[in-house]
Amino acid sequence: MAKQQQDWLQWRIAIDKELDMLSDLDCFEEVLLADVAIDPKTGRRYQIIPTKIDLKMKFDAMGLATKYKARLVALGDQEWKDTLRDVFSPTANSKTINLLLALAAQQGYCLYGLDIFGAFITATIDEPVYVSLPAELFADGKPRIWKLKRTLYGLKRAPKAFYDQLTAFLISHKYQRSEYDPCLFYRLYPNGERIYFCLHVDDFAIAASSQAPIQELCDILKTRYTITESDNLESFLGIHIVQDDTRLYLSQLGHIAKCAKEAGISPTSKPVHIPMQPTFNDTDQNNSPPGDKGKYATLLGMLI
């Protein structure tokens, strides 16, 4: 019970921190229901999109818990489809990430990692968007309606809005975007210095010929964003990375531990050559893998 109370206290602190951050960044203005505007295109009031608090424990690439994370998330799956425009946002191609790491190993480049804190709430909105907040989040027990000035996580338009504005910001500071992968950026300096970085949502994997271009990029980003820096690219997308001269050692110990836990494998488990029926056919009811098909598919997806 004491452990549960301690956990809840940590979650409450995380929730209050999230709401305070949204307020400090001027992400919204509170309005009354009667103040919700009319959409001139449809003649009806703009949708009030429900929200929820997403609680998640953050882990590093080694599978160790690092912090309690609370995030206010809009239920984008409930947005009216006729109010949405283009919402596609690119993500880094795995081949691009592999190429970036290979280049860093071959050339002995410095590796660096950073992410933008509260990335999606840095993007402004050019049209009215309203959200409702659960009453349980507030001491008086009353729900709130916010008119957003910035995007929230969960909104279908949020990833594209953030990507477009970040891309325009980087290009305005002389960084170039690759024509082969829209999430790969680079800059070549007259003195021979160079920097390449791959963007995956709000995470940067950076490879540079020295620390100078990295520091310049960080200084530029700090003029507009709050960033979290890592002196080396210890982990990126769940991959643990250790650099040694012209070699990189990659591992996914955290992911392996997660797979083992999902499969019910412990250090005392006995090894077998084939853990499941090798001739499984989903049309044959008498030839099924151990457990339900859903778990089987989950394990297969994690291994892939």
Spatial strand order of the sheet with 65-74 comes to 28-31, 144-148, 130-133, 48-59, 65-74
pLDDT in tens, 24-74: 888 999 999 888 999 888 888 999 999 999 888 776 656 666 778 888 999
* Tokens describing residue 218: 């960080």
Q: For residue 181, which phi and psi values (nearest 5 degrees)? A: -140, 115
Residue 137 pLDDT more than 70?
Answer: yes
The reported pLDDT for the residue numbered 77 is 86
Give percent above pLDDT 90 in the chain: 27
3 state SS of 256: helix
Nearest to 100, CA basis, from 198, 182, 201, 179: 198
Query: Three-state secondary structure along 96-152?
Result: HHHHHHHHHHHHCCEEEEEEECCHHHHCECCCCCEEEECHHHCCCCCCEEEEECECC
Give the contacts of 23 (CB within 8 A, at least 6 positions apart): none
In the chain, domain spans? 2-250, 251-303
Q: Whole-number mean pLDDT of the chain?
A: 82
Pairwise CA distance, residues 247 & 233, whole Å: 14
Residue 141 pLDDT more than 80?
Answer: no
The reported pLDDT for the residue numbered 73 is 92
pLDDT in tens, 210-222: 999 999 999 999 9
The reported pLDDT for the residue numbered 86 is 73
pLDDT in tens, 242-290: 777 667 777 777 777 777 777 777 777 777 776 555 555 555 555 555 5
